[in-house]
Amino acid sequence: MKADPTTTQASEFLHRTDFELALAAKDAIELLAPAPKGAVRVTVRDGWVSLAGKAEDGSQKGAAEIVVRNLPRVRGVHNLITIPSQSNLSLPVLSGKNGVCYERAQRPI
């Protein structure tokens, strides 16, 4: 009886090492997430992926996490990507209940 090559390849794909998973995550971020090349560092331990670095905005941070979370063998994602301070925005608009928007006054820390 011959082994089905697609089954063998899929099995090997799902049993990647942490190193192989880190490489796949880095490639996926560079190809599919809008973050600048090299802006996100990836480490993996026991299938848990940690993302670190800087993103220009929240959408880049979220996109990197979504791309990685959907890779096979990822058990979870620690998203430690930081976003530069948005101190030049004095009154950020937040989405409230029922889609109503309101402004939040900033208080000094």
pTM score:
0.65
pLDDT digits (tens, 9 = 90+) for 64-89: 999 999 999 999 999 999 998 754 44
Reference 16, options 88, 72, 84; nearest CA is 72
97 pLDDT above the threshold of 90: no
Task: Quickly list DSSP for 51-66.
Answer: EEEE-SSHHHHHHHHH
CA 16 vs CA 8, 21, 77, 100: distances in Å? 13, 6, 16, 46
Range of 1-5, 63-67, 96-100 with top mean pLDDT: 63-67
Q: Which domains does the chain have, with CATH numbers?
A: 16-85 (3.30.1340.30)
Which tens digits make up the pLDDT trace of 15-56?
Answer: 789 999 999 999 999 999 887 888 999 999 999 999 999 998
